[in-house]
Amino acid sequence: MAHRRAPGVFLCASLLLAACTSNPVATEPPATPTPALTVDPTPSVSEAPFERAAWPAGGSACDTEGYTGRIGRIAAVDARTVRFTLCAPDGAFLARIADPALGILDAATIERLAEDPASARSLAGTGPYRIDRWTSGEDAILVAAGDPGTASEAPTLVLRWAADPTQRTFELQSATVDGIDAPGALDIERIATQPELAVVPRAALATVFLAFGNEEAFAGVRVRRAIAASLDRAALAAAAFPAGSAAATHLVPCVVPGGCAGEAWYTFNAPAAAAELAAARFDLDGSYTIHVPNRPLAGLANPAAVAEAVAVQLRDNLGLEIAIDVMTARNFDAEVAAGTLEGLYLSSTSSSVADPVAYLDPLFRAGLKATTATRGKEVRAALAEAAATADAEAREAALGRANDAIRSVVPLIPLVNPGSVVAFRADVDGVATSPLGTDPLGAFTPGDRSQLVFMGIGEPTGAYCGDQRSADALRVCALVTEPLYAFAADALRPEPRLAERCTPDADAVVWTCTLREGVVFHDGSRLDAGDVLATYVAQWDASAPLRAARPEATFAAWAALFGGTLGNAPD
């Protein structure tokens, strides 16, 4: 029998039970509490009539003392309309809601997940594949939810996992799998020499950079530009980074839309750089240092080793002798933030939000004392313009000005976009990789086989990504569930999925999303705006049953995308 939600499911019924004591949902009349769910191994169907609802009930969360989030209020205006009211203009809103962590679920599925986390291995989404069987410790079998050849090329996907890269490579060479993620460094060259196999790069979502501290020797723009031109970034990527890495042309990876607006970085020219440094009367006999933290950074597994490779180039190309100073991470971070670090330092920028402002703002925003920010006032102004508009042309122009300002002032030098690779059987056609790991496996054609078998690194807990962040988890979530918007198959360009469109007001503060008509979840329940509200509130409300049942750190995606939660988690 289909499970039915009680009317007003967003009131004191299940999902928002704890929230009702302090932030009741604005619906009427008050609902009768929903009886406890009986957990069933198959997804339940909810066909409760749609009811208008909003959260929080008392007005915008932006007015709540201590609240640090970006969203002020979400309203299910009618069955096909959801309205988001933000606390500030946000031109990156579509990139935020396209994250796989925000795959929309039926409200009854969210209730079930809160009571039975294992149901994440059988949940019903609206994606191109549905979960047919999930055997923990072995594999997950997904079958096409639509007609093969329309929503997908492979009728069946088999997902397997192995932590050992040697085992993954062995499985690929033995033809027991069609593709693997991240083959071992020692295996890549061997795979590349076998005609029946193919290595495919995966674009990066981080940029490693060399920054200038506050030392007087590096105070002049002329000196900083000369040092920038002296570094062979392509050689550095090949020598000191994993396969699939590439020289950075801008501070933001080019796979991020708008990230590479403006002029590309200075080309490598060691003789010209040496001449320029001499003309600037730079003291080559001085004592200089590259500072690095004693822990990995995003895209930078071994900072000291990369610093050594940079130091070798500076010595060989400029005659500049550089010492490496490995600092405790706490002291390194504190001195960078205070702008007191002298010499040079190695760091990186990355973001889970596929928007250039999210990469650049932590380095250049107002109020920061780091040398990147104090030397980047023009960057800051351009970023403010980009953040405040959703107009694509205006954003592109502003981001171009920001990148050109970085290139002109040279507060830092973008070095490398650290990448990775995947490997496939050569007869698998249509292979494309996503920077997030959400590879569109269903669009691949596995030769003459009716199923495609892919081996990742670690088994996810299921197809709900609100509380997990690995590439393996995001991959399966993107196959089974759909957000309002989602990223294009092999890029980070937001495209409509469950929403026909999401349009902003003139200030990019109020975003109104219109849902596609007639969307049905894999279990037969129908999508409406209430399901969107339930999906978001389940992560936004600190007291919501789904969130309260899990450790706070597991919801890192929400924190990165939208900032703080509302309400109090139960004791």
Which domains, and CATH codes, for the chain?
14-123+481-562 (no CATH), 129-203+420-456 (3.40.190.10), 206-417 (3.10.105.10)
Supply the pLDDT for residue 13.
35
Supply the pLDDT for residue 570.
56
Q: Which residue has the higher pLDDT, 303 or 18?
A: 303
Rg over alpha carbons for the chain, rounded to the nearest Å, is 25
Q: Where are the beta strands (DSSP E) in 481-543?
A: 485-487, 494-496, 499-504, 510-515
Supply the pLDDT for residue 47.
63
User: Any idea what the Cα angle at residue 461 is, between residues 458 and 464, rounded to 5°?
Assistant: 120
Q: Is the peptide bond before 195 cis (omega within 30 degrees of 0)?
A: no
Query: Above pLDDT 90, what percent of the chain?
Result: 83
Supply the pLDDT for residue 554.
85
Cβ contact 533:446 at 8 Å: no
**Residue 524 corresponds to which tokens in the numbers above?**
């037969």
CA 58, 62, 68, 70 dihedral sign is: positive
Beta bridge partners of 144: 129
CA diameter of the chain: 83
- Looking at 33-47, 213-227, 236-250, 257-271, which range is the least confident one? 33-47
Burial profile 326-362: b = 16 or more Cβ within 10 angstroms, e = fewer: ebeeeebeebbeebebbbbbbbbbbbbbbbbbbbbbe
Tell me, what amino acid is at 533? L
Question: What is the SS3 assignment for 418?
Answer: coil
Instruction: Report the distance separating Cα 459 and Cα 415, nearest Å.
Output: 33
Q: Could you read off the pLDDT of 427-441 as tens digits, one per residue?
A: 999 999 999 999 999
Q: How confident is the model at residue 152 (pLDDT cuts 50, 70, 90)?
A: low
The whole-model pTM stands at: 0.88
Strands lying side by side in the sheet with 197-202: 129-135, 139-144, 156-161, 451-456, 179-181, 420-425, 197-202
What is the average per-residue pLDDT within 146-170?
Answer: 83
Cβ contact 538:110 at 8 Å: yes
**Could you give the count of Cα atoms lying within 13 Å of 83 in the half-sphere of its Cβ?**
14
Supply the pLDDT for residue 147.
54
pLDDT at 17 over 70: no
Supply the pLDDT for residue 3.
38
Supply the pLDDT for residue 398.
96
Specify the length of the chain in residues.
571
Count CB neighbours of 465 within 10 A. 27
Supply the pLDDT for residue 48.
73
What is the average per-residue pLDDT within 165-169?
Answer: 96
Count CB neighbours of 118 within 10 A. 13
Instruction: Report the distance separating Cα 212 and Cα 455, nearest Å.
Output: 42
What is the average per-residue pLDDT within 317-345?
Answer: 97
pLDDT at 269 over 90: yes
pLDDT at 166 over 50: yes
Query: Above pLDDT 70, what percent of the chain?
Result: 90
**Could you give the count of Cα atoms lying within 13 Å of 463 in the half-sphere of its Cβ?**
31
Q: Write out the DSSP string of 10-36.
A: TTTSGGGTGGGGTS--S-SSPPPPPPP
Cβ contact 252:360 at 8 Å: yes
pLDDT at 488 over 90: no
Q: Could you read off the pLDDT of 172-188 as tens digits, one per residue?
A: 999 999 999 999 988 99
Mean pLDDT score across all residues of the chain: 89
pLDDT at 397 over 50: yes
Burial profile 5-27: b = 16 or more Cβ within 10 angstroms, e = fewer: bebbbbbbbbbbbbbbeebbbbb
- What is the phi/psi pair of residue 133, to 5°? -160, 140
